[in-house]
Amino acid sequence: MTIFSKIIAGEIPSYKVAEDDEFFAFLDINPIVWGHTLVVPKQETDYIFDIDDARLGRMMAFAKKVAAAIKEAFPCRKVGMAVLGLEVPHAHIHLVPLKHEGDMDFAKKVSNPDPARMAETAAAIASHFKPNP
Ligand code: AMP
């Protein structure tokens, strides 16, 4: 079981943003900017491009709804998307509110983000999430 499956199962805590029957969104624990969110499939797959086409399409549609909520909660030019997957072997999309190109910089991780601010951030994004926009 991956660390993200344990998060989805509620066995370890996370700052949850949204979920549906197939996908789960929560804050990255080491955000590169405030609002940095991860979208993961509930079914474990390591490499995102091993996910079948239909599910991958639905994952993108779910990420799109989360991105809209991030943009409402954290005004930005665009919400950027990145897939690395070098650390955790459970496919995930990083969504990052961008004001400048340099905001998408994974060398700028905050290692001990303030828990209260993380909770506020997740709640703000969750409040704008529309399951069926
Ligand atoms: P990568 O697999 O290279 O995309 O990196 C994994 C990402 O997951 C990193 O940005 C980590 O900060 C993040 N991460 C790892 N463990 C957790 C966790 N328990 N909760 C939230 N984010 C996590």
Q: Give pLDDT tens digits for 34-68.
A: 999 999 999 999 999 999 999 999 999 999 999 99
10 Å CB burial of residue 127 (0-12, 13-18, 19+) is exposed
Which residue numbers are catalytic? 92
Mean pLDDT (whole number) for 83-94 = 97
Identify which of 2, 11, 38 to mutate to test ligand 1's pocket (most ligand atoms within 8 A of the CB).
Answer: 38
Question: Residue 133 pLDDT > 90, yes or no?
Answer: no
Residue carrying the six token digits 């665009």: 78
Query: What percent of the chain has a predicted confidence (pLDDT) above 90?
Result: 98
Residues in contact with 116: Cβ distance below 8 Å, sequence separation at least 6, in sequence order? none
Q: Rounded CA gap, 126 and 133, in Å?
A: 14
pLDDT at residue 132, rounded to an integer = 84
Which ligand 1 atom lies nearest to the CA of residue 36?
A: 10
Question: Residue 16 pLDDT > 80, yes or no?
Answer: yes
Helix (H) / strand (E) element for 30: namely: none
If pLDDT is split at 50, 70 and 90, which confidence band does 25 have? Answer: very high
10 Å CB burial of residue 21 (0-12, 13-18, 19+) is exposed
